[in-house]
Amino acid sequence: MRLQRYKLTTTATTCISTNAYIEEYKNNNTESKGYGMYYGRAVDNPPMSLDELVEHMANHNTPYSPGCIKGVLTDMVKCIRHLLLDGTNVKIDDLAIFKAHIESSGSATLLGYDLGKNVKSIRLISQATGQFTRAELTKAKSKLTYGTKTRADREDARQVQESDGGEG
């Protein structure tokens, strides 16, 4: 049985459209309550590099050169990293709040709590904010259409990116 792939198209204020692909999959985990059921999940496109983002932004009729855009974005990334490492959350309006998240195990006593032993991981998380919310993304599901992107298409794109030295 061939599973369907759907294309989710949303319109943003500055970009013409954004396409996200959703694929159906069968839960084959025998220990799951949902075993044998079909679900939808987002299909990842290859990530866009900073240079690709710069070119994308430069093509939006901006008076700024790609070099200027890259300089601002590079400085922004450095500042956001610095602030996050100093414990400051960073909010980019209508996109996300970026913050560090710590996962740790508990200790029976305060004196027994040890950062080296109890902190399992520290990771970067983001929370949608402003106009870019879960509600906005959920509304977009009403615009689902059949897409033509296949797993082979995604693998081809990843192979091209890897051969160019990018992350896959």
- The string of pLDDT tens digits covering residues 58-106 is 998 889 999 999 999 999 999 999 999 999 999 999 999 999 999 999 9
Tell me what pLDDT residue 5 has.
47
Contact present, 66 and 54 (Cβ < 8 Å):
yes
20 CA to centre of own chain: 11
| CATH architecture observed for domain 5-163 | Irregular (4.10)
- Residue 125: φ, ψ to 5°: -125, 160
- Give CA–CA dist 27/37, Å, rounded: 6
Give me 39's structure tokens: 């679900």
Domain ranges of the chain: 5-163
Residues in the chain with pLDDT < 70?
1-21, 140-168
Tell me what pLDDT residue 25 has.
81
Say what the pTM is: 0.61
Tell me what pLDDT residue 145 has.
53
Tell me what pLDDT residue 20 has.
60
Number of Cβ atoms within 10 Å of the Cβ of 147: 19
Using DSSP, state whether 140 is helix, strand or coil: helix
Tell me what pLDDT residue 161 has.
56
